[in-house]
Amino acid sequence: MNYLTQDKLVIVGAAGMIGSNMAQTAIMMGLTPHICLYDPYEPGLKGVAEELNQCGFEGLNLTYTSDIAEALKDAKYIVNSGGAARKAGMTREDLLKGNAAIAEEFGKNVRQYCPDVKHIVVIFNPADITGLITLLYSGLKPSQVSTLAALDSTRLRNELAKWFKQPADNIVNCRTYGGHGEQMAVFSSTTKVNGRPLVDFIGTEELPADEWDKLRQRVVQGGKAIIDLRGRSSFQSPAYLSIEMIAATMGGRMFRWPVGTYVNNSRFRHIMMAMETTVDKNGVTVQPFSGTPEEEAELDKSYRHLCELRDEVIAMGVMPPVDQWGELNPNLMQPTAPDAC
């Protein structure tokens, strides 16, 4: 088998549904033979490792451990789905605080055990925050930590394909930027349907304004819909897409969707959010993009929402105030992206 790299890839949260799918996906995509599974839940972790070993893969060096130091030693790539799920009786704030604390510990572990890591993809919720905290405490460069932000765009493509009764391939360049779900900024001006701009359809009888609103709502509620249908949270699509992201950082195929990345320019200050990027061996690089004035206003609004969320976490005490970030990670005080964005 031809592997993209011989570097060590660590799957954090490997005992879970997303993590175990990520591991299988990474093996099948031929990213690297050296895959280490980490999870604090030892029985589940062992069960996943056993399952994968029972697939009979060739050339695979699969290891697993519940010792984070051992897992991260010599790690060059990490995908982290290791957040806590919301449990009965938990408030949104409880979940936020819990996962923020997990991200802080993870970032510190990265700094201590694998400062030479090349790239980390963070996908546990809320990823814009957990990714930001990971970046802050790891001391890595903004290009080295990204978050899964593609699902809103792939869900938009899927909803448009169903609406127009077209193969999904005929729906090109779906793009949502900024935050996720309710907070996403849909850049419909970027999208073409069968070669025609999507905006030419919106508000016509082919896609009446109220239907477009409903369609957007279905995108926002895409995750909830999966839970309603399957009785479990979406796991195949986040797992697959996050492995596509890390593959791109290994020099694999171009990643085709927006990516959550740290931005600090004259317009967006010290925030992690979905942007247009290139993802390659240099990590994530923000690319210029633009929308209609309405879309740009929507993105500004999305940015402000994310700032509020960030400041809420700062108020919780998990992150220091922005003006102190430079002490933890000087890279975060540098300008990151073209001001045009």
DSSP structural state of residue 277: E
Q: What is the CA radius of gyration of the chain?
A: 20
225 closest CA partner among 162, 287, 276: 162
- Between CA 65 and CA 256, with CA 151 as vertex, the angle to 5 degrees is 95
Smallest separation, CB 277 to a second copy (Å): 16
Assess contact for 241 and 151: CB atoms under 8 A: yes
Closer to a second copy by CB, 101 or 226: give it: 226
Q: Token match 């849909």: residue?
A: 186
Give me the residues that bind a second copy (CB under 8 A), please. Answer: 15, 20-21, 24-25, 28-29, 43-44, 46-48, 50-61, 150-151, 153-155, 157-158, 161, 167-169, 222, 225-226, 228-231, 234-237, 240-241, 256-257
Smaller CB separation from a second copy, 14 or 273: 14
For a second copy, the closer of residues 230 and 281 by Cβ is 230
In the bound state with a second copy, the residue whose beta carbon lies nearer, of 253 and 269, is: 253
User: Contact 4/248 with Cβ under 8 angstroms?
Assistant: no
Both tokens of residue 61?
A: 């060096």
Nearer to a second copy, 56 or 89 (CB): 56
For residue 90, the Cα-to-chain-centroid distance in whole angstroms is 24
In whole angstroms, the minimum distance from the beta carbon of 328 to a second copy comes to 35
C-alpha 183/C-alpha 49 separation (Å) is 37
Q: Least distance from C-beta 237 to a second copy, angstroms?
A: 4
| Minimum gap (Å) between residue 95 Cβ and a second copy | 22
> Parallel, antiparallel, or unpaired for β 171-172 and 119-122?
unpaired
Q: How far is the CB of 124 from a second copy (least distance, A)?
A: 18
Cα–Cα distances in angstroms (integers) from residue 200 to residues 4, 12, 194, 203, in the given order: 41, 44, 12, 8
CB of 47 to a second copy, least distance (A): 3
Q: Of 39 and 104, which has the nearer Cβ to a second copy?
A: 39
Between residues 142 and 258, which has the closer beta carbon with respect to a second copy?
258
**Nearest approach, Cβ of 58 to a second copy (angstroms)?**
6
Residue whose C-alpha is closest to residue 263's, from 210, 199, 336: 336
